[in-house]
Amino acid sequence: MSAIFSTSAARNIFYGGTVFFLLMFLALTYNTEQQLPKRDQRAQLANPAVAAGKRIWENNNCIGCHTLLGEGAYFAPELGNVYKRRGPEFIKAWIKAQPTGAPGRRQMPNFHLSDKELDDLVAFLKYASEINTANWPPNIEG
């Protein structure tokens, strides 16, 4: 075996593999950099209602229980596509009705949000639902 697989052959395989994977990494990075501007939605974040909804999301630490596009805690449901799943009126009614008092279920606290704050939060969740995630997750229930 050592006669077939010499030190120089091992070195060449190592350097060849390193160069190959470095070129692959650079090609994939270039492709990503070309694709991201097409998926950018920062113009929507300039909408004051969306920005205010994001502040409400952050100030009430919603990500401490929920996930948004896969980021956050897994204590409560994913909210990246809740706007598409349930709609704005359901979201507002659900937040107002908390806690439900159902025995044996985790309860969301009532944050006592005003109608304006609820509208802003729904605008943020609508914005999040429209982010191009390359069709992931494959089903609407997340």
pLDDT top residue among 6 and 3: 6
Q: Is the pLDDT of residue 54 over 80?
A: yes
Residue 15's domain spans which residues?
1-39
Paired strand residues for 67: 72, 78
pLDDT top residue among 141 and 133: 133
Q: Is the pLDDT of residue 116 over 90?
A: yes
Instruction: Please list, in sequence order, all residues whose beta carbon lies within 8 angstroms of the beta carbon of residue 68, skipping any fewer than 6 positions away.
Output: 57, 62, 78, 79, 80, 128
Same domain, 35 and 46: no
Same domain, 73 and 30: no
Same domain, 89 and 30: no
pTM of the model: 0.72
Same domain, 33 and 46: no
Mean pLDDT, rounded, for 127-138:
82
pLDDT top residue among 121 and 40: 121
Same domain, 31 and 53: no
Determine the 3-state secondary structure of 18 from DSSP. Answer: helix
